[in-house]
Structure 1
Amino acid sequence: MINDSRLEYIFIRTCIVFLHYLTPASIIYTVFLIASYIFGIPRPHTPLAINVIAVAESLFYLVVFLPYSAYLQRAAVHPPVPSRAERKALFEKCYKFIPDPDTYLDRWFLGAPQEEIKHDNVKEFIQWAFFNRGGEAGDDEEELHEYVAAYETLVGRKFEPGRGKAESLRLTLDPIDMLHRSLAWYMCVGFVDLLTYINLLRAGFHFHRTSLSRFFTLFPFRPQAVLTTKRSPAKYTTYWHRPHTSTTHLPVLFIHGIGIGLYPYVPFLSDINSAKDLPAGDGSGGQIGIIALEIHPVSFRLTHAPLSPAVLCAEIASILNQHGYSQVVLATHSYGSVIATHLLAHAETAPMIADMVLIDPVTILLHLPDVAYNFTRRQPQSASQHQLWYFASMDMGVAHSLARHFFWSENVLWKEALEGRDVTVSLAGRDLIVNTEAVGRYLAEGSEDADDERDVEIMPDVSEEGGLLLHEGWKHRPWRGKGIDILWFDDLDHAQVFDTPATRRPVLEAIRAYSANSGNSSGTATVVDES
């Protein structure tokens, strides 16, 4: 993620204008070309390359984008409606962790005036959030009224009867907002993909492709995939693998976030075994194995829809089994925490996950509106917000993945799901997507030494109102390697922890420590995989 300087703002807006208006300009020029041939209109001489690009961009918009975007607008297939007991338990759990009730409603209702958020508006939102549907209340009227009354208690006021003009954010029911991507943009994605391929090969990784019969199901096409002889045991999931030769450490499974694939993570993945200020490999000459999955639906590609949790977990299990990995240290970034949630809940994969490192996770306290609002509805202002909005939020594949296959109640990750494992969570103080303050407080609450004076200090407030100021020492607590640890980077934004060796180092140290501790205690680090 870029920073928010004036120069970076000008740069990102210029890139967006060029990429966004290339297609309209191409269509206008192509219409002029056709008209000039039909009606004999004189035209200036232009290079053949410009004519080819204009026609190709126009055809791509008309033949690919328009029909495909209409196809993607199909209604989501929601998960089954939970039982009443399950709904109540989920509601109570969410209700307990709403740090700012007014902001909670303001974001979920897209900044609508309070007087326009009436009883039926709140009921409609609750139907989507906890019943996985819209429409009439039917037999659920009594239960819905109970939940609306609870929200009234939360915000300290009664909602007026009837329906106001407010519209709530109902991600999987609302129309999908997406913007066209030019053919030139996809060529850039393909070029970056080739660079990633070369860099990972140089770092000792091997690419595992799916069947060649699926070559045309991913665009931009990957000619380099034809060159590899290694096959993924999964039907849809490709991955990169660095062989595991350590006898004292566990291998690592890495799952990336929304973006251009594995390209931004190449230095991070390379440093797991080759950081200059850390011992090489496992310290005794052995190499820590790494599997880095490729999640194409959120990687700026045109491809299949996101896999269901059951199918994806089964594919990941088959990949781990292929290499003889009965247990791994799981490291994820951003959207990768969604998949982590499913791996922990799936009976086959849960025992395979030892300790975990969650970097910029988006699934903790997912019932809060920040992630959904910031990623899909916020009007961009700064350079980083424009970068997120245009290149990620408005991408066809990403928008479809979130609006039709992202069901928050399935993806939310609660603290109790982490019990029994050592977990490090890396949070950025300037994160433009996640409410990291709320997430950090939630994770730190009830942890060992949470009430110690080193962790919570009361100091005089210098404000005019006087009183006391609460300093949250959980941000600066030394890493312990047990229970839930928090790495707090006060001056970083989302994904910036990967940008420099200094910021990567604490995360790498956590991964390597978990790999060593789990490998020594579990007896599963004896795998030697040369494939």
Structure 2
Amino acid sequence: MDSEPGLTGTKDIAELFCLPRRKILSCYFILLAAVLPVWSVVPISWAFVVVQSRRLPGMVDCCSRGFLLTELQCAFKRSLQAGLASLPREASDEEDGERPSSPTEDIVTLEFDDPRAVDFRNCMRTWFGKVPWSSIRRHEMYSWLYWYIYNRPFTSLESLPDAEKTILQDALSLVEKRAGVAIPEGSNPHSSALLLTFDPVNVAWRPLVWYAFVAITNHIIRRCLQVKWNTKTGSYKGLEYILHMSHSWSPETGPRPIAFIRGLGLGLLRYHLFLSHLLGAVSDHPVLILLHPHASQDIFNRRFLKPMNRHESADCLAGLLRQLGWVEQATAENGGKPEKQEREVHRPSGVTWFFHARLDVEGVPRDDQHSCFIDPVTFCSWEGDLCYNFIYRHAVTVRFLWIVLYFVGMGLGVANFLQRHFDWNANSLWIQEIPNVYDPSKTKFFLGGKDGVVDAERVKHYLTSHGIRKCLWFDRYGRHGQALLTGGEGLREILRWLRES
């Protein structure tokens, strides 16, 4: 007779105990290599945000980074003086010091229809989202001036200390003289000022795999540069760099060193083709390439959200150049003031600088400096176009929006740097501060007429009205950074200038 289903002999298999399976070694490997990393993304991300958010509030105040009130007032007055001098729009190159300059002009009350006043009002309204000038009221102008000078939010004039109130009223008086019209009393919420360090940070979040891709790609590029050009990666007091230098080079007899200060983007991924051409053209020159983690989407770097300020970076750079033997040591006395002792000042000397970003030029000697400015964002930055175009503008072309804004400007590190650490006033550069500015063998400016970041036409006018002609290379159809692209006329002109300078 057949046994009933489910029975084996006298035992019911449904009543048997199921012994747990023994874990094999591969299970632990999968747990550690795959499951745990994926699971930990969320808690690690939140921990990273919490830790970094505790660091940010103490870094917002401009004055805490060493920018004194007198320096800010002087720069503000200088920006108002820009464009006051009656200089021709086009002029031949002049010797340094022989040509009049706007910062020597007195700020007087202009007529409303004076072209200088009209131009100023048109530029000034950029800081208010390009609203009509007539819609701007005193409360919003006070808000912008208080942010510009003190980097603090403005509530009302009555709530300020007497000293700050006087400074603010004097600043408003200068603006009204320059604009040729008094600003009406009251407030207009529709003409709010662009307050860079207080407005919400414009960030587009990236997945971890994006940052991993950027990090791996930049690591591969560094390795390729090391194999092909014998470069090495180093760090000097937190300032990271790549260095190419021949063992036979000497400061006395060797060719002029070259330092490349790159801009914002994806690190070496954006510049590796240009650097290959540069190193190939000047293989006998020492070449220094500065690396900036906050501007390279290097989220794994400890200084990703804690960039150096301009004084710290300038001091580190001067120390690095001295260590490399590229600088001379000088002794500076502090104007006879008894409270300060003599100190050593180390300044770069005999270096060719490639600027695709800002450098504290005051830390560079004026005797034998060579400078190449490639789509510089440091000129006319007081007018607000750079700030508006790169951070606030929305009605832009698809190419500019997705390539420049999304992939560069809206990255966490770049947005944090520009909107919480970057001092726009301190990074303005003036013609009078550039050594050998009228010598085309020592100074070169590259501009693209279709630049979507800076107003290249205004920068061109600023340069030409101060006598720059032979030193200027202007591509009417060039976009931002196009002069660095392989195969273009801009790159050929850069390398030609470099070989002949």
TM-score in terms of structure 1 length: 0.67
Q: Which residue of 2 aligns with 1:300?
A: 297
Identify, as 1 or 2, the structure richer in helix: 1
**Residue 345 of structure 1 is aligned with which of 362, 372, 392?**
362
Name the CA shift for 1:300/1:248 in 2 (closer, same or farther; >3 Å). same
Q: CA deviation at 1:187?
A: 0.8
Measure the CA separation in 2 of the matches of 1:104 and 1:432: 16
Q: Are residues 1:240 and 2:242 paired?
A: yes
Match of 1:331, as an amino acid?
W
Q: Could you say if the C-alpha distance between residues 167 and 90 of structure 1 is closer, same or farther in structure 2, counting changes exceeding 3 Å?
A: same
Partner Cα distance (2:451, 2:458) in 1:
12
Distance in 1, Cα, partners of 2:405 & 2:53: 18
Please, which of 65, 68, 84 is the counterpart of residue 80 of structure 1? 68
Q: Who is 1:332 aligned against?
A: 354
1:313 counterpart residue number:
314
Match for residue 377 of structure 1?
392
SS at match of 1:169: coil
Question: Size of the alignment, in residue pairs?
Answer: 395
Deviations 1:70-99 (A, max 9, x none): 753555121221169736643433464778
SS at match of 2:237: coil
Residues 464-515 of structure 1: CA deviation (Å, up to 9, x unaligned): xxxxxxxxxx5xxxx5xxxxx111122221112222233311112222323x
- 1:386 Cα shift? 2.0
Larger Rg: 2
Give CA deviations for 1:124-168 in whole Å, capped at 9, x if unaligned. 212222444443543243443343344345445432202211221
Asked if the contact 2:215–2:298 (Cα under 8 Å) also holds between the matched residues in 1, the reply is: no
2:136 aligned to 114, 117, 123, which one? 117
Deviation at 1:433, TM superposition (A): 0.5
Matches within 5 A, 1:10-89: 55-65=39-49, 68=52, 71-72=55-56, 76-78=60-62, 79-82=67-70, 86=74, 89=77
Shift of 1:357: 0.4
Tell whether the 8 Å contact from 1:128 to 1:134 is kept in structure 2 after alignment.
yes
Alpha-carbon separation, structure 1, partners of 2:192 and 2:73: 28
Distance 1:365 1:114, change over 3 A: closer
- The answer to whether the 8 A contact 1:331-1:511 is kept is no
- Tell me whether 1:90 sits opposite 2:73 in the alignment: no
The answer on whether the counterparts of 1:374 and 1:433 sit within 8 Å (CA) in structure 2 is: yes
The residue that corresponds to 1:498 in the other structure is 484
CA shift at 1:265, angstroms? Answer: 2.0
Map 1:174-253; keep pairs closer than 5 Å. 174-209=199-234, 232=235, 234-244=236-246, 245=248, 247=253, 249-253=255-259
Match of 1:160 in 2: 184
Return closer, same or farther for 1:154/1:260 CA change in 2, 3 Å cut-off.
same
Q: Alpha carbons of 1:435 and 1:85: their partners in 2 closer, same or farther (altered >3 Å)? A: closer
Contact map agreement 1:364 1:412 (CA 8 A) in 2: yes
Aligned-partner SS, 1:367? helix
Contact 2:263 2:295 in 1 (8 A): yes
Q: 1:51 to 1:432 in 2, by over 3 A?
A: farther
Separation in structure 2 between the aligned mates of residue 174 and residue 352 of structure 1, nearest angstrom: 42
CA distance in 1 between counterparts of 2:434 and 2:404 reads 29
Identity of aligned residues (%): 23
1:424 aligned to which of 444, 461, 479: 444
Q: Are residues 386 and 267 of structure 1, via their aligned partners in 2, closer, same or farther at CA, if it must alter by over 3 Å?
A: closer
Q: Aligned partners of 1:491, 1:146: CA distance in 2, in Å?
A: 42
Cα–Cα, structure 1 residues 114 and 438, in superposed 2: closer, same or farther, change >3 Å? closer
* Counterpart pick for 1:291 among 281, 288, 293: 288
Cα offset, 1:69, TM superposition:
5.1
Q: Which amino acid aligns with 1:162?
A: G
Indicate conservation of the 8 Å contact 2:447/2:475, yes or no.
Answer: yes
- The TM-score normalised by the length of structure 2 is 0.71
8 Å CA contact retained: 2:256, 2:352: no
- Three-state SS of the structure 2 residue aligned to 1:82 is helix
Instruction: Return the match for 1:101 from 116, 120, 136.
Output: 120
Unaligned ranges ≥5, structure 1:
1-46, 210-231, 282-286, 449-473, 480-484, 515-531
Cα distance between partner residues in 2 of 1:150 and 1:159: 11
Kept in 2: contact 1:260–1:300 (CA 8 A): yes
**In the TM superposition, what is the alpha-carbon distance from 1:119 to its structure 2 partner?**
1.2
In structure 2, the residue matched to 1:355 is 370
Question: What letter matches 1:382 in structure 2?
Answer: V
Superposed displacement of residue 267, structure 1: 2.6
SS in 2 for 1:163: coil
Instruction: Give the Cα separation in 1 of the matches to 2:213 and 2:231.
Output: 23
Q: Any idea what SS the aligned residue of 1:292 has?
A: strand
Question: What displacement does 1:414 show?
Answer: 0.4
Q: Distance in 2 between matches of 1:385 and 1:332?
A: 27
Contact 1:332 1:358 in 2 (8 A): yes
Amino acid at match of 1:144: L
Go from structure 1 to structure 2 and tell me whether the alpha carbon gap of 1:333 and 1:51 turns closer, same or farther (over 3 Å shift).
farther
Within 2, Cα distance between the matches of 1:388 and 1:298?
13
Deviation at 1:317, TM superposition (A): 1.9
Counterpart of 1:431 in 2: which secondary structure? coil
CA distance in 1, matches of 2:72, 2:385: 27
